[in-house]
Chains A and B, each alone.
Chain A
Amino acid sequence: MSLMLACHKQLSDFTLSVKLQLPSQLTVILGPSGAGKSVLLKILAGWLKPDKGELYFNDTAWFDSALDLHLAVRQRQVGFVFQHDALFPHMSAMENIVYGHQQPTSAQAIERALGFAQRYQLTEVLSLLPKQLSGGQRQRVALARSLMSTPQLLLLDEPFSALDFMTRRHMRHELINLQRQLDLPMVFVTHDIHEAFFIADYLVLMNQGQVVQAGVKEEVLASPSNDWVKQWVEEVR
């Protein structure tokens, strides 16, 4: 997998200007609130269009201002897990999961959904509405739903921030196992330094719309590029 992004976007508080080449593992974008992390994720998903630049995924142009090209969200085959799960409240857990499939009513979709339900201990709660599920169950349903569409890239916007400590810890392990098993490239956004260093293979530190440092986690730990990065790194040393 290759994800190459070089873009510029004027926002109300600051200008987002990034140049990144992401590996095919678990990339974590870390930074304080308002750094532009979620904006970057929305650009990758296709919901926000940069003012200029380019975004290529596996040599396919998703955005290129020189070619006046901006691929719609639907065409990018990107899975997205939201901070507040974004489960459809009028659908049961099972209906939410199968909705992710191209043909939700097909036998294949149901079989696949049941497989995810078993893996994520959701079998007993498939008939329940989202409001009847715990926070952890909701995020697992959201994760299963995003995987149903067989995405080529999974984006996660602080998906565990609303969960309690134990559930969060369990979900982090689950995510790492999932990434290893499916070899699915993931981009995970968080403002939690401990979470970032626990799950990341590749780390991108952002502040005020700029990438301050990007690299393999161990390299960032060993050689922070400036005092600001050092502040973050010292929290986990």
Chain B
Amino acid sequence: MTDISQILLLSLWIAAWSTLFVVIVGVALAYLFVFGNPRRWLWLDTLVAVPLVLPPTVVGFLLIYVLGRTGPLGGLLDHWLGIRLLFTWQAAVLAAWVVSLPLMIRVTRSGFLAVDLELILASQSLGKSSWVTFRRIIMPLSRNSIVAGAVLSFTRALGEFGATLMVAGNIPGKTATLSLSIYTAFEAGDTQSAWWMALLLTLIAVMAMVTTYFLTRSRW
């Protein structure tokens, strides 16, 4: 039977790193789209939202083009830093990040929009900078949305298949995540392993939703 514990650890590792970058970039972009000039950033808003509606294999295909040795980013990384991202766990992180980011932005944006504008104006009238207003007023009041977005992104990253398969491959011990391994086990006729991994993923997803419920209960 497949070594599920190793696959689980790898999947959690990739999902955790992806979620970390998703939260940092997602919160920053959501702030920009809500409080910045919407017209100026419409192009960026559209660009980051596209992976939400694209088939994951198309996302993977485009990432291969960008990250490949002759690609615009991959070429630079290879030439200047000797880094080759394709078929590494880092590529899996990147694939998960690309598909999860639009989710994080959407949920966080809703949280920011729900903050009463008068509270933001009140903070400004008290002489507070945009950064202080963001840190002390907007972030705490949209905490629930940020947490929910992070959990959704984590579970999305954990379940990522198509884009991950294309840019990171399905290399045992290196890039073979739980989702990919379920497919591999099923193809190989190892239904017992496939069942265990599917149950595991389901259990993690349920725990994530329950955790979200308890973390996002309003105190005020």
Residues of B within 8 A of A88 (CB): 119, 122-123, 136-137, 141
Given the known interface contacts A86-B118, A89-B220, the answer about A45 and B141 at a Cβ–Cβ threshold of 8 Å is no
B125 lies within 8 A of A99 (CB): no
Number of interface residues of B (CB under 8 A): 18
B220 lies within 8 A of A90 (CB): yes
How far, in Å, is B177 (CB) from chain A's closest CB? Answer: 38
A45 lies within 8 A of B125 (CB): yes
Residues of B within 8 A of A86 (CB): 116, 118-119, 121-122
B220 lies within 8 A of A145 (CB): no
**A83 CA to B128 CA, complexed, in Å:** 21
A74 lies within 8 A of B124 (CB): yes
Is A209's beta carbon under 8 Å from chain B? no
Residues of A within 8 A of B126 (CB): 79, 99-100, 145-146, 148-149
- Segment 63-89 of A: residues with Cβ below 8 Å from B: 73-74, 77-80, 82, 84, 86, 88-89
**A149 CA to B140 CA, complexed, in Å:** 22
How far, in Å, is B215 (CB) from chain A's closest CB? Answer: 15
Residues of A within 8 A of B217 (CB): none
* Residue from B119, B124, B125 with most neighbouring chain A CB atoms (10 Å): B125
Is B129's beta carbon under 8 Å from chain A? yes
Other-chain contact of B127, A77, A82, A90 (Cβ < 8 Å): A77
A89 lies within 8 A of B129 (CB): no
The residue in chain B whose Cβ has the minimal distance to the Cβ of A151 is: B125
B219 lies within 8 A of A90 (CB): yes
Number of interface residues of A (CB under 8 A): 24
Is A171's beta carbon under 8 Å from chain B? no
- Segment 103-154 of B: residues with Cβ below 8 Å from A: 116, 118-119, 121-129, 136-137, 140-141
Residues of B within 8 A of A130 (CB): 220
The residue in chain A whose Cβ has the minimal distance to the Cβ of B143 is: A90
Is A180's beta carbon under 8 Å from chain B? no
**A77 CA to B140 CA, complexed, in Å:** 25
A73 lies within 8 A of B124 (CB): yes
Residues of B within 8 A of A45 (CB): 121, 125
Q: For chains A and B in complex, what number of residue pairs have CB atoms within 8 angstroms?
A: 54
**A36 CA to B170 CA, complexed, in Å:** 65
Is A131's beta carbon under 8 Å from chain B? yes
B121 lies within 8 A of A47 (CB): yes
B140 lies within 8 A of A90 (CB): yes
**A90 CA to B141 CA, complexed, in Å:** 7
B121 lies within 8 A of A80 (CB): yes
**A47 CA to B116 CA, complexed, in Å:** 15
A80 lies within 8 A of B127 (CB): no
B122 lies within 8 A of A131 (CB): no
How far, in Å, is A117 (CB) from chain B's closest CB? Answer: 17
Given the known interface contacts A80-B121, A82-B118, A86-B116, the answer about A131 and B220 at a Cβ–Cβ threshold of 8 Å is yes
A80 lies within 8 A of B122 (CB): yes
**A86 CA to B117 CA, complexed, in Å:** 9
The residue in chain B whose Cβ has the minimal distance to the Cβ of A102 is: B127
Is A199's beta carbon under 8 Å from chain B? no
**A74 CA to B127 CA, complexed, in Å:** 4
Other-chain contact of A149, B116, B119, B121, B127 (Cβ < 8 Å): B127
- Segment 154-174 of B: residues with Cβ below 8 Å from A: none
Is A18's beta carbon under 8 Å from chain B? no
**A45 CA to B125 CA, complexed, in Å:** 8
* Residue from B124, B140, B141 with most neighbouring chain A CB atoms (10 Å): B124
- Taking beta carbons and an 8 Å cutoff, which residues of B are in contact with A? 116, 118-119, 121-129, 136-137, 140-141, 219-220
4 tightest CB-CB pairs across the interface, nearest first?
A80-B125, A86-B122, A86-B118, A89-B220
14 contacting pairs across A/B (C-beta < 8 A): A45-B121, A73-B124, A74-B129, A78-B125, A80-B122, A84-B118, A86-B116, A88-B123, A89-B141, A90-B220, A99-B136, A100-B126, A146-B126, A149-B126
Q: Known pairs A80-B121, A88-B137, A146-B125. 4 more at Cβ < 8 A?
A: A47-B124, A74-B129, A99-B123, A129-B220
